[in-house]
Structure 1
Amino acid sequence: MPDPFRQRRPETLITAASRLADHFTSMTWDSVPTEQADQLGRFLFDYLGVAVNGSQTATGRILGDFAAEQGGPEQASVIGHAGRATAVNAAFANAVSEHSIELDDIDELALFHYGPPVLSAALAVAQWQRRDGRAFLTAVLAGCEAMSRISRATNNALRNRGFHTTPTCGVFGAAVSAGLLLGLDRDQLTSALGLAGAQASGLMEMYGPSMQKRFNPGPAARNGVTAAILAQKGFTGADTILEGERGFGNAFADGLDADALLDGLGTDIPVLIEHKPYSAARPIHNAIDCALDIRSRMGDAVQRHVSDITGITVRRHPDWAGYHLNPAPQTFHEAQVSLPYAVAAAFTFGRALPDQFAGENLCRDDLRALSARVIVEPDESLARGVSCAMTVDFADGRRETSVVDDPKGSILNPMTTADLREKFRFLTTGLLPADAPERVEAMVADLPNQADLDGLFDLLVVKA
């Protein structure tokens, strides 16, 4: 079978990176479908609310301080903080902030988050370079497409080898977004992809009490911007970085799936962005939805019925059955990636937002007892990788069941515009002025007509 990357032009060798660079450097705002443009607006609005709230967490504050302490030219805003930092450090800090409360966007397979690496890089470079709203949005879509295509070409092998898709694939998306905003040509963007691959990193060894998971997208955003800046200055990168013998595909996965990488290139944009209503790892959301569904049938005596639960069996697709199983999380970070705890919290509180995963709730005897009653079993008959089927047994012999294939916020079960507004308001109340949700939403909607992003960032400084 001929190698699809070894088709020769008279003057050069065609590789995966160069084909992608050809495609992305030809993208313009006029070529963006209306549906994708609308999706980008929802995506940005959701990102900003999550990032503002995340900037005030322990991880967000540490990165805000770090960015300020590094000094250098004041190029781009650090969301939630006054003043500016260098573009690379602003991208780094904003990526960590937006990933700090587990309410950032997710792809349709629950493998990665677009926003922390791609939007963080694009926002920093667009503000620094004073690029207009259309250039910014086009670059964001290109970065998301690069990230999606590279994930499709390497997963699930990449994840199963222990690599975290958000940073490992996100660094390429960040480099593409930053590169377009810096005006890179085809050859320069090819080099930026090579330099991004040289910096690809991020491990799934992150599900514990530490802040590790919050950190992972930060270097991806920072490194993608760095790759683009260096390529602009003439630093060349390996154009075989994706499919080469020691390239990303072979090093991080079981090789590179050329069909998945290039299918529909130039005619299809495989960017499906989902939004999160619950402050937990996305593959857990189906179980939360099942719990809330069963809870809704309990009537007025909810707490009595919850205390009568004797067992909860959760069937998950084998893709995710071995993840998120810690029954006794000790910290905010552990709780957000614990399916047993999230299910117990959903039954107990009727919601799963940051407060439910923090503070004294982690020590409550009733939550710990209910978490311990959760059993997870693999079931390959389930329709989707994130599907969940739940059976709940009660002391009086009753049994309730629920099955969720498409969680709230997914493509087939989307959060409405009203849902996203309420989420933004919830996350920014007490941090931004009361009229901030309306003003930010209006600014985002008008972004294609804006000459730069300064006006948007002016709305995102948290009150002292």
Structure 2
Amino acid sequence: MAKQQADFNDTYSRGIARFVAGLEYDAIPAEVRERTKLLLLDAFACGLYGAGLQWSEILQRSLGRLDDTRACTVWGTGQRLSAPNAALVNGTQVQGFELDDAHHRGVVHLGAATLPGLVAIAEARGGMSGKDFLTATIAAYEVGPRVGICMTPDHIGQGWHPAGTIGVFAAAAGAARALRLDVERTIHTLGHAGTQSSGLMAAQYGAMVKRVHAGHSAQCGVLGAFMAEDGLTGIRNVFECEYGGFCTTFSRSTDRFKLEELTAGLGQVWETMNVSLKFYSCVFSGHTALDAIREIQDERPFGPDDFEKIVVHGSQVTVDHVGWKYHPEGMTAAQLNLPFCIATLLLEGDVFVDQFTQEAIFDPRRIALADKVEVVNDPAITARGGRYRHMVRVEVFFKDGTKLERTVETSRGSEKRFAPAADIVSKFEKLVRHVLPEAQMAELRDTVLNLDRLDDAAPLGRLLARR
């Protein structure tokens, strides 16, 4: 027993917990705090737009029948639910239309998993300042990616959906910091998260439940933190445990993960700065190819009738994730299929919310055009590892016998090509106008961009509600 206790005192799980429990606003570089406000703005916009989507409305109705609590806002609606259920719905809404952020190397959506729980805690408990809200957000955005980096791209390659399996740790870290839990209770919060991890990538082939995975993470983070606060214990060495621990179980191995990455650079290297934003309403793995097509069009304008075929050379993860033959199985399949998204760009000139309609996903011309796009593994790109998993080389073979190609490593909005603040505000306004009146939209925007001045973050819930 003494040896077991000693092991628990020197684990990566404890190292993460120490960071989360000890993180203070003033220790965070100013550039990280300012970047986080823009990430918040983007996530709130995605969640508000997602309120009116079919799968979100189903979830709102289902939980509304089960839960008559009125503590927390369902964003973009007049509905209120308990903190865990509001987090479930709002996380689903943020991930609801392939618009939300991602950490590429960690392969995880952070805003959808994290922010719904933090807003719910702010509403349910009160007394969380804007600075504390930002600090809790950053704690989550530092922990989540490191778990994904530890697990390597093999994790999604094996069929796990990181929004649900990795995102749950971001949610737990944020919720634990929001509740000001000590190191021990933060360890138990992480332990609760690990045992609730779930999410299968088979959902990408048309299932609405794919959208719910991040919401489930948000819900588990809130529940885990509340349970740990009250003394319910979790797995204390959730990452390291050799039998049934997160890393060995989800990698199906004893060595296809890197435990040292869990705490590498904590408090010194800020992974929050490596979170990317979307300017296409589709899966991130396709954005570099869409950018490449646009660059080729800038050199030689062309449309759907001008080429024989398009070949996208990418990593094996890209091929497996988005390179499959398109079948009209629902909106999820359309937004997660690269050939369909390229066909959409060529026919519509953009790949944003207005281009994805129920009619479009069954459009024979779009499906025929998608059949002219091939996605193939490039061993040289695959060999470059997870940092380059979105890199592509796109070839367009024209009917006149000529060919143009373009290589793109990172997409617009990615950590290496992060968008100007004005572009992020513009995206926010473009999405939120669908849901909120202009005055409320402006108040929400200004509140988020000045969040560190708020004595109490609870009013965020009011601003996210449809009046």
Give SS of 1:311's match: strand
Per-residue deviation, 1:380: 2.5
Deviation per residue, 1:150-189 (Å, 9 max, x gap): 1111122322322111211111221121112222111111
Corresponding residue of 2:289:
287
One-letter amino acid of the structure 2 residue matched with residue 232 of structure 1: E
Closer, same or farther: CA 296–462 of 1 in aligned 2, 3 Å: farther
Query: Where in structure 1 are there 5+ consecutive unaligned residues?
Result: none
The question of whether the paired residues in 2 share the 8 Å contact of 1:110 and 1:282 is answered with: no
Q: What's the TM-score, normalizing by structure 1?
A: 0.93
Distance 1:395 1:88, change over 3 A: same
2:205 equivalent among 182, 205, 208: 208
Q: Residue 190 of structure 1 aligns with which residue?
A: 187
Q: Which SS does the other structure have where 2:396 is aligned? A: strand
Amino acid of the residue matched to residue 332 of structure 2?
H
1:104-183 map, 5 Å: 104-109=100-105, 111-130=107-126, 131-183=128-180
Match of 2:19 in 1: 23
> 408, 411, 418: which is aligned to 1:404?
408
Report the alpha carbon displacement of residue 72 of structure 1 after superposing the two structures with TM. 4.8
Q: Counterparts of 1:296 and 1:422 in 2: how far apart (Å)?
A: 23
Q: 1:363 to 1:8 in 2, by over 3 A?
A: closer
**Counterpart selection for 2:275 from 252, 257, 273:** 273
User: How many residues in Structure 1 have an aligned counterpart in Structure 2?
Assistant: 453
Q: Is the 8 A contact 1:295 1:347 kept in 2?
A: no
| Structure-to-structure mapping, 1:190-339, within 5 angstroms | 190-245=187-242, 246-253=244-251, 254-255=253-254, 256-271=257-272, 272-299=274-301, 302=302, 305-324=303-322, 325-339=324-338
Is the CA contact 1:331–1:358 (under 8 Å) kept in the aligned structure 2?
no
Q: How is 1:392-431 mapped onto 2 (pairs within 5 angstroms)?
A: 392-431=396-435
Distance 2:372 2:210 in 1: 27
The answer to whether the aligner puts 1:432 opposite 2:428 as a matched pair is: no
Q: Distance in 2 between matches of 1:297 and 1:345?
A: 20
Q: Tell me the residue number matched to 2:447.
A: 443
CA contact (8 A) 1:179 1:192 kept: yes
Matches within 5 A, 1:341-360: 341-360=340-359
- Distance in 1 (alpha carbons) for counterparts of 2:338 and 2:169: 30
Output one character per residue of 1:123-145: Cα deviation in whole Å (capped at 9) or x when no partner.
21122221111111111111121
> After the TM superposition, which residues 36-115 of structure 1 pair with which residues of structure 2 at under 5 Å, given as runs?
36-109=32-105, 111-115=107-111
State how far apart, in whole Å, the 2-side matches of 1:7 and 1:270 are: 31
1:216 alignment partner, SS class = helix
Distance 1:363 1:319 in 2: 26
Instruction: Tell me which protein shows more helix as a share of its residues.
Output: 2
SS state of the match for residue 320, structure 1?
Answer: helix
Deviations 1:292-322 (A, max 9, x none): 22233444xx5xx431221111111223222
Aligned to 1:377: 376
Partner AA of 2:287 in structure 1: H
CA distance, structure 2, for counterparts of residue 359 and residue 73 of structure 1: 34
Structure 2 residues not aligned, in runs of 5+ = none
SS at match of 2:202: coil
Alpha carbons 1:309, 1:394 under 8 Å: kept = yes
Structure 2 letter corresponding to 1:107 = H
Does structure 1 retain, via aligned residues, the 8 Å contact 2:36–2:134? Answer: yes
Q: Whole-Å Cα distance in 2 between the matches of residues 363 and 236 of structure 1? A: 49
Q: TM-score, normalised by structure 2?
A: 0.92
Contact kept? 1:133, 1:448, Cα under 8 Å: yes
Matches of 2:137 and 2:4, distance apart in 1: 29
Report if the CA contact (8 A) 1:127-1:452 is conserved. Answer: no
Deviates more, 1:168-177 or 1:260-269: 260-269
How far 1:120 moved relative to its partner?
1.6
Same amino acid, percent of matched pairs: 27
- Equivalents in 1 of 2:357, 2:166: separation in Å? 30
SS in 1 for 2:304: helix
* Alpha-carbon separation, structure 2, partners of 1:261 and 1:435: 43
Contact conserved, 1:129 with 1:181, CA < 8 A, in 2? no
Would you say the 8 A contact 1:192–1:227 is kept in 2? Answer: yes
Following superposition, the deviation at residue 260 of structure 1 comes to 1.1
